[in-house]
């Protein structure tokens, strides 16, 4: 199997880079990595990989990169943290072009497996309106009322994968990623997720001698945060399985944003005054993953403790900020 071509799109992103590292560790020798960003801007770049900067919103580009691929991991999309998603709904929706045309290209090239990275943003908003909501089961996606823009694009992508299997026999796998964090990810600029943003703000306050940090919302909103190594393990297991229905790939350990800040402050060894910006975008009030189905079908669920994963992430962001002189917490 190691000499079969595997295509990873969105390879220059956070999860994509970690996925390529894992494929290399598995002994895969033919990996094609594709991202719209210039290669110099990728989160991680690996030697011996066919690295390409390509815009996959066109059919000819999708056909070119899918040629000869036995497996396709489609992680390519326009997304970011809640601030980005709420301000760029049309741009997020445009990612539907990538998945639609890449599915067509994978079908015509004879790919054996196709993985689509979906998101917890596909879940109905009415099931996420309190901090203490029940964990989200895969069936909770319908009746549909996903996150506007980004969530609708991902839900449409899921349906495309389902129907490409039903109509054309394409073996598709769908992972619904919940909030994923870890080193080698975006921590500033507007596309970062809450764990990286909070680490950055705490580090910046330390380095500047400030005793204050800004918090989006009231700090009571809850999420479950999954360390990236667990995300990759779940992805690879799902791809190798015979499970065609969507599966949650996420942590079932919910914490409030205030509790997350407590963890980061403990790692930093310092407490800060919190200034709550109630006008900032915060998304749903509560969200965590129900892992009953993935445990039943794959015999697995994420295992990294939040404290351990956040400490690794914090240390990496601290090194990056010291290296690049990025001491601003905004």
227 catalytic? Reply is: no
Is it true that the peptide bond before 143 is cis, omega within 30 degrees of 0?
A: yes
**Token pair recorded at residue 86:** 């709420």
Whether the CB-CB separation of 33 and 8 falls below 8 Å is answered with yes
Question: What is the enclosing helix (H) or strand (E) of 236?
Answer: helix 228-240
Is it true that the peptide bond before 303 is cis, omega within 30 degrees of 0?
A: no
Phi, psi at 177, each rounded to 5°:
-70, 130
Sign of CA dihedral 278, 279, 284, 288: negative
Per-residue CA distances from 116 to 187, 246, 261, 308, 310 (Å):
24, 9, 32, 28, 26
- Catalytic residue, chosen from 150, 177, 314, 318, is 150
Phi, psi at 153, each rounded to 5°:
-60, -45
Sign of CA dihedral 186, 13, 303, 251: positive
Beta-ladder partners of 32: 7, 50
E strands, the chain, are: 5-9, 31-35, 50-53, 69-74, 113-119, 172-177, 180-181, 212-216, 222-224, 226-227, 247-249, 254-256, 273-277
Q: How far is CA 86 from the centre of its chain?
A: 16
Catalytic residues: 150
């Amino acid at each position: 199997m190691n000499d079969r071509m595997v295509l990873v799109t969105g390879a220059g992103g956070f999860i994509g880079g970690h996925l390529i590292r894992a494929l290399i560790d598995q002994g895969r020798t033919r990996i094609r990595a594709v991202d719209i960003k210039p290669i110099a801007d990728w989160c991680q770049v690996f030697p011996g990989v066919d690295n390409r900067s390509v815009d996959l919103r066109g059919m000819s580009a999708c056909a070119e990169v899918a040629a000869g691929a036995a497996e396709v991991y489609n992680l390519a999309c326009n997304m970011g943290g809640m601030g980005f998603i709420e301000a760029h709904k049309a741009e997020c929706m445009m990612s539907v072009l990538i998945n639609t045309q890449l599915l067509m290209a994978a079908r015509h090239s004879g790919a054996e497996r196709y993985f689509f990275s979906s998101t917890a943003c596909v879940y109905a908003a009415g099931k996420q309106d309190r901090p203490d909501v029940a964990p989200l089961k895969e069936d909770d996606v319908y009746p549909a009322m996903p996150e506007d823009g980004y969530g609708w694009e991902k839900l449409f992508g899921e349906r495309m994968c389902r129907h490409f299997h039903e109509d054309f026999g394409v073996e598709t796998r769908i992972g619904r990623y919940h909030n994923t964090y870890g080193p080698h990810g975006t921590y500033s600029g507007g596309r970062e997720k809450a764990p990286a943003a909070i680490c950055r703000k705490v580090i910046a306050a330390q380095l500047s001698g400030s005793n204050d940090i800004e918090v989006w919302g009231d700090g009571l909103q809850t999420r479950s945060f999954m360390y990236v190594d667990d995300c990759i393990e779940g992805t690879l297991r799902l791809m190798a399985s015979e499970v065609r229905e969507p599966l949650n790939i996420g942590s079932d350990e919910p914490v409030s944003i205030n509790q997350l800040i407590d963890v980061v402050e403990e790692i930093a060894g310092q407490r800060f005054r919190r200034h709550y910006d109630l006008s900032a975008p915060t998304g749903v009030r509560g969200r965590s993953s129900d892992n009953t189905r993935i445990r039943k079908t794959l015999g697995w669920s994420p295992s990294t403790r939040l404290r351990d994963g956040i400490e690794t992430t914090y240390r990496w962001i601290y090194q990056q900020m010291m290296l690049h002189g990025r001491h601003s917490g905004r």
